[in-house]
Amino acid sequence: MCGIMGYVGPRDAAPILVDGLRRLEYRGYDSAGVAVCDGRSLVVRKAEGKLSRLADMLDADPIGGSAGIGHTRWATHGAPSDHNAHPHTDPSGEIAVVHNGIIENFIALKEELGAAGAVFASETDSEVLAHLVAQEYDGDLLEATRRAVARAKGAYALVVTSSREPGRIVAVRMISPLVVGLGDGEVFLASDIPAILHRTRDIMVVDNGEIVDVTVDGARLQTIDGRAVERDLLQITWDAAQAERGGHPHFMLKEIHEQPQAVTETLTGRLLDGDEVLLEEVHFPPGFARSLDRIWITACGTALHAGLVAKEVFEGLLRVPVEVAYAHELRYRDPLITPGSLTVAISQSGETADTLAAAYLAKERGSRLLAVTNVVGSTLSRTADDLLYTRAGPEIAVASTKAYMTMLVGEYLLALALGRERGALDSAAAAHLVAGLRTLPRVIEEALGREDEVRVLAEGFAGHEDAYFIGRGLDYAVAMEGSLKMKEISYLHSEAMPAGELKHGTLALVTEGTPVVVVLTQTATYDKTISALQEVKARHALTIALAYDDDTEIAKHADRVIRIPRVPDLLAPVPSIVPLQLLAYYVAAARGHDIDQPRNLAKSVTVE
Ligand code: F6R
């Protein structure tokens, strides 16, 4: 996730671009840049670090010109640096691009362009687009861009400008968001409405597979294959704070709703045809996966809960023992981590002090270290031998939602890769899993479609002071995360445990009306978990079951049922967590809490 901007009009472009980028910094902030056409040539300024560095550069040495493009970056390919910052240009410096998203076939394109003599200035996937547009250019930027994107595969948004046609900008949307703002004699382009809402409230949303040709006379929209598109303008009435949160009252709710898009990005370019998976920064030595004798998973908090899902998935598919350890415990143990093992450290930020310490320990003991993380260039990613970036984009709410979701999806990808290399997963089983993974963005969308039902349920929940979440196997892992979400933002006392454990003590706390959420997606243990539900029901608890749409039994047992779309049991944690995130959110909202910044907590825990 990055932020992109464009401007054509009568005013100086650079300050407008920087101002818009500042409002898009929530999409990434590891480097920033602009390219402005001064009428004769393109002037590019870019710098690693926060946008303020670029702004200082431009203050010290301003650039004139009334058309330009800008970018604030969240690194995916290539670490944050001056040379990886956007805009990228072709070798002549006449064409500049900014890009948000991923070009799946960039390696093949780089090889092809390299064979024709192209030299690249960055490690990004984006730079190939500048070369492609230049190669296709014969005097018409729109047509050159159209032909260039026909050669690129992926999920992205792209904005292109050229000194050969000053005052013209072309932009394309391939899944990643893009909007056009129409002002009085000026046109704005942006990844998101908040960047330009203070400039104009007349917004045209570019749809997937569309290209837009922008000049000072307006914006012409077409499908990528050239059919003209008429699009009604939206009149946006949000205030500035609402706009920043995409119209949602809190970042947490916005991020819950971003999960289908985030998962699309996690999967982009990684699922190949049939049963193959490509993890671009995982390079196990030959024979490693086959000889692997143990996997250690270490993390904290929500990331640890993602690790509990991984344990079930890895043990089930790879038939290898998996140990999940809290990083703050592992670092002070004398763990039997041996060479030949794999340690998977999971961390959204890649900066959690305990997780880093456990990762260093694992490396010292000769284990291969794989990081599942969201932040490119984080300390964890620089320490690891192998990397799986989750690509959730910046997460602002302290309570993690989309980062957790993309960790889950990353783990399935890893299981596939290891399973194929290890010979533990035959082609048919892998193909089945690949097919399931492809459905996940839609499945999450469907789960989000039940938001109103969860909101009503939350009203009945908000007056309680205690809650319990139970489940077995993968359902237990989900119960742990659902319970943590509830605690951290609603401040309700909540406990999660394996469904069979309740009767060994905690059942004493269940009294009339105590809410007990029972996660019931695992066919193999369904009947056993129903028994646990009956046990709490017998103590007059308020039983809330989370079950598949096609479960016709459950309504006979539970007081309330939260429904999720049917998926293979192995993938159930993905839809299951969505209503539990929403439940925690609406309980906290009903209790009037500061949802995005809950008391006593911090987004990244960089101290012991
Ligand atoms: C809870 C939450 C925390 C983090 C934990 C680890 O919503 O976000 O429990 O998961 O502090 O953080 P990372 O993943 O950055 O290592």
Is the pLDDT reported for residue 496 higher than 70? Answer: yes
Q: Are 585 and 595 in contact (CB under 8 A)?
A: yes
Cβ atoms of 561 and 591 closer than 8 Å: no
DSSP of 156-199? EEEEEEETTSTT-EEEEEESS--EEEE-SS-EEEESSGGGTTTT
Euclidean distance between CA atoms 216 and 381, whole angstroms: 44
Give the pTM.
Answer: 0.80
pLDDT of residue 608: 64
pLDDT-above-70 percentage for the chain = 99
Q: Count of H helices and E strands in the chain?
A: 19, 24
Work out the pLDDT band at 607, boundaries 50, 70, 90.
Answer: low
Q: How many A from CA of 317 to the centre of ligand 1? A: 26
Q: Which residue has tokens 């456990």?
A: 358
Atom from ligand 1 closest to the CA of residue 399: 7
Tell me the CB-side half-sphere exposure of residue 259, using CA atoms within 13 A. Answer: 31
Choose the weakest-confidence range: 76-85, 304-313, 380-389, 572-581: 76-85
Name which residue leads in pLDDT, 602 or 38. Answer: 38
Identify the residue whose C-alpha is closest to ligand 1 atom 10. 302
The ligand 1 atom at the shortest distance from the C-alpha of residue 352 is: 16
Ligand 1 midpoint to CA 607 (Å): 13
Tokens of 370: 């794989």
User: Burial code of 90-124, b = ≥16 C-beta within 10 A, e = fewer?
Assistant: beeebbbbbbbbbbbebeebbebbeeeebebebeb
The answer for 486, left when phi > 0, alpha when psi is -120 to 50, beta otherwise, is alpha
pLDDT digits (tens, 9 = 90+) for 89-117: 999 999 999 999 889 899 999 999 999 99
Judge if the beta carbon of residue 302 lies within 6 A of ligand 1: yes
Q: What is the whole-number distance in angstroms between the Cα of residue 489 and the centre of ligand 1?
A: 13
Kindly calculate the radius of gyration of the chain based on its CA atoms and give it in whole angstroms: 25
Reported as a pLDDT band with limits 50, 70 and 90, residue 24 is confident
List the catalytic residue out of 50, 153, 363, 603.
603
Residue nearest to atom 9 of ligand 1 (CA): 301
Q: Would the pLDDT of 461 be above 90?
A: no
Q: Mean pLDDT over residues 469-490, rounded? A: 98
What domains does the chain contain, in order, with CATH numbers? 3-244 (3.60.20.10), 253-445 (3.40.50.10490), 449-590 (3.40.50.10490)
Q: Quick one: pLDDT at residue 27?
A: 77
